[in-house]
Amino acid sequence: MKAYKYKLKPSAKIEAIFTSWLATLCELYNAALQERRDAYRISGISINYKAQSKQLPEIKEERVDLKRIHSQVIQETLKRVEKAFDNFFRRVKEKKDKAGFPRFRSSPRYDSFTFPQSGFRVDQKRKKLHLSKIGSVKVHLSRPIEGKIKTCTIKREADGWYVLFAVEEKEKKSVVVAADEPVGIDVGIKTFATLSNGEQIENPRFFRQGEGELKKAQRRVSGRRKGSHRRKKAVRLLAKKHQRVARQRCDFHFKEAKKLTQRFRVIKFEDLNIKGMVKNHHLAKSISDAGWRQFISITAHKAEEAGGRVEEVNGSGTSTKCSRCGHRHRMPLSIRVYRCSNCGLVLCRDQNAAINIKERKGRAVLASRRKVTSVEEARTYQRTQLESPPITGFTV
Ligand SMILES: [Zn+2]
């Protein structure tokens, strides 16, 4: 399954319908959750999807607004509740510390509904999306959809409405003409990455620019009174900026990961989980650490697709060791060139480290087991989900 995501340009009328569907479905979601919680708490019974969907005709008699919503969309909402409970029971079974009960959703947080099978049609030529019981919406079809569309999700985001299609792809076995020789990669703050062959991947300018804009937007939020209208407005702006930066970064990571995995079968990084605490730790670094973890995850995912793999090695001492003779030198961060007094090697500090990384034995990074950037999700929602990580850390 591959996901396609496009911006929608709904008319005011359609937008009002979207909003009213979301409000109704949110209510339904919470009601279904309530029923399950009560049943479980009071009598230890778990009510399943079937039992809940059986009640729908009766509920529809009471609630006319539900009649206006496509029946499959309603069912899919109940399925979400079921999924939330399944996850809960799984966590209980695994005896996770925090097997928190599925939570109620507030209306602003309930931001999508899905046509799981039918009720929608895309006219790629006219760039229109026809939705049953809603109408036609203009879609910004930035790239053509290839394959069979399985589901259609309408989603509200900080900057407007989007449609997400889950599309079944024809199995494409990519033929990789990648080198057998592994490549070692040293990640850094100034230069995004240095390869063991001496190539460098520069940080795109928008990294710094975006971070500056984020800080400014964050300051604006904290400068305004809690609960005020102006603060809410600033929060919205911050969310938008946040989303933009995350998208740009993710795009960049995907692009670079693709290039690497097309060229190299085995790609080695230092294990940032081991190293992170050792090197001088400051904010900029911890921020970029998160970025690199995402990059490594995405690269692992892409490598798997291409039949290669990503390995992580213990990176301790990779910058102090001479990559030619093994001699060790003190290498404070300010020294950018590695000069070996023993064998005479003169090399860019980062490349020297990258070669050491390449030479070390590593452990394969399994794309699907990495939890940091939900590569699991990437499988179904390829880019879209990674593009917009949940926004946390500030309140209205
Ligand atoms: Zn040497």
Per-residue pLDDT of the chain (396 residues), as tens digits, is: 788 999 999 999 999 999 999 999 999 999 999 999 888 888 888 889 999 999 999 999 888 899 999 999 999 999 999 999 888 888 888 876 677 788 999 998 899 999 999 999 999 999 999 999 999 999 999 888 888 899 999 999 999 999 999 998 766 554 555 677 899 999 887 788 999 999 999 888 777 777 788 888 889 998 999 889 999 999 998 888 888 888 888 889 999 999 999 999 999 999 877 554 444 455 555 556 667 888 998 999 889 888 899 999 998 889 999 999 999 999 888 889 999 999 999 999 999 999 999 999 988 887 654 443 444 333 333 333 333 333 333 322
Q: Check 76, 82, 256, 270 and give the catalytic one.
A: 270
Fold of 183-387: Nucleotidyltransferase; domain 5 (3.30.420)
Q: According to the model, what pLDDT value does residue 284 have?
A: 55
Q: According to the model, what pLDDT value does residue 8 have?
A: 97
**Nearest 5°: phi and psi at 154?**
-100, 130
Q: Check 76, 256, 312, 350 and give the catalytic one.
A: 350
Q: How far apart are CA 362 and CA 182, in angstroms?
A: 11
186 classed as catalytic: yes
- For residue 175, count CB atoms less than 10 angstroms from its CB and return exposed for 0-12, middle for 13-18, buried for 19 or more: exposed
Q: According to the model, what pLDDT value does residue 372 have?
A: 38
243 neighbors 157 (Cβ within 8 angstroms): yes
Q: Report the chain's C-alpha Rg in angstroms.
A: 25
Gap from CA of 364 to ligand 1 centroid (Å): 29
Six token digits for residue 116: 């799981």
**Which segments of the chain belong to CATH 3.30.420?**
183-387
29 neighbors 110 (Cβ within 8 angstroms): yes
Gap from CA of 179 to ligand 1 centroid (Å): 27
350 classed as catalytic: yes
Gap from CA of 352 to ligand 1 centroid (Å): 10
Gap from CA of 302 to ligand 1 centroid (Å): 35
Gap from CA of 348 to ligand 1 centroid (Å): 13
**Nearest 5°: phi and psi at 231?**
-70, -40
27 classed as catalytic: no
